[in-house]
Structure 1
Amino acid sequence: MSPFDDALGPDFGSADQPPPPPLTIEERAGVLDDLAELEVFRTLLEPTGIKGIVVDCPDCEEEHHVDWALMQANLRQLLDEGQTGRHEPPFEPDPDDYVSWDYASGYADGVAALAERDEPSGQRTGRHARED
């Protein structure tokens, strides 16, 4: 049995355990920012053949390859329920089809910087991904 076997639905622990506390305003803002960035990443990277994001799982200490739609669904579930459930990973994913969040963010920054450089007015036109 793998950690992704889930014949009975998502495993959120026993029914006796209380649900997780709601996200704080700051946590919700962070998840909303992540959703917005994910859409930018997908818009830029999907046409190049990238299928999604690779994330390191602290529970099983393995990489999980998460496609764009599933990553979006996970973030929305986090907003709605304060946690995400288990999901079936892609069957034999090609690691070359997935990038890390940091890579996607750097790629988006590079595209934005190139667009700003090529802007005829020479003015900066917007913020980069993860600009704090």
Structure 2
Amino acid sequence: MTSWDDAFGSDGSGSDEAPPPPPLTMEERAGVLDDLAELEVFRTLLEPTGVKGIVVDCPDCDEEHHVDWALMQANLRQLLDEGQTGRHEPPFDPDPDDYVSWDYASGYADGVAARAEAEEPREGHPPGRHARDDQP
């Protein structure tokens, strides 16, 4: 095997195909399904504000990858179906300000949910008022 073979994943058997990854465990599948559901919430909340997707730190190349909403969803679905994601072409010259981290998106969604919960009308109290507003 040459360094060329090694660089492009040849195992020396004459076949260019790598063995398939092991299937995801039930816990891993549940985690990916949770991520897909969260991603949809993030997109619903953030896309109207101009956010184009998620920024991901890549452990393979030590760089940030800017992944749009649709590609991130496709990656997660491919992970469910095949047990791995393929390599995808990053966007050309992305503006880092158009992408947020998963943690930022999660915090934003939590903040929106907390605000909605605080504004939810409670029995005996009209919306937008506090119990202390009823005191003389």
Partner of 1:20: 21
Q: Which runs of 5+ in 1 are unaligned?
A: 1-11, 123-132
SS of residue paired to 1:55: strand
Aligned equivalents of 2:67, 2:115: Cα separation in 1: 28
Q: Which amino acid aligns with 2:68?
A: D
Partner of 1:58: 59
* TM-score, length basis structure 1: 0.81
Q: Deviations over 1:12-46 (max 9, x none)?
A: 94435320000000000000000000000000000
Structure with higher RCO (Cα < 8 A, 6+ apart): 1
* TM-score, length basis structure 2: 0.78
Aligned equivalents of 2:122, 2:106: Cα separation in 1: 25
Aligned equivalents of 1:104, 1:13: Cα separation in 2: 35
- Structure with the higher fraction of residues in helix conformation: 2
Percent of pairs with identical residues: 89
Aligned equivalents of 2:62, 2:77: Cα separation in 1: 24
Partner of 1:90: 91
SS of residue paired to 2:107: helix
Q: Which runs of 5+ in 2 are unaligned?
A: 1-7, 11-15, 124-136
Aligned equivalents of 1:17, 1:102: Cα separation in 2: 33
Q: Deviations over 1:57-115 (max 9, x none)?
A: 00000000000000000000000000000101000000000000000000000000000
Aligned equivalents of 2:122, 2:75: Cα separation in 1: 40
Larger radius of gyration between Structure 1 and Structure 2? 2
Aligned equivalents of 2:54, 2:9: Cα separation in 1: 26
RMSD between superposed Cα atoms in Å: 1.4
Pairs within 5 Å for 1:42-57? 42-57=43-58
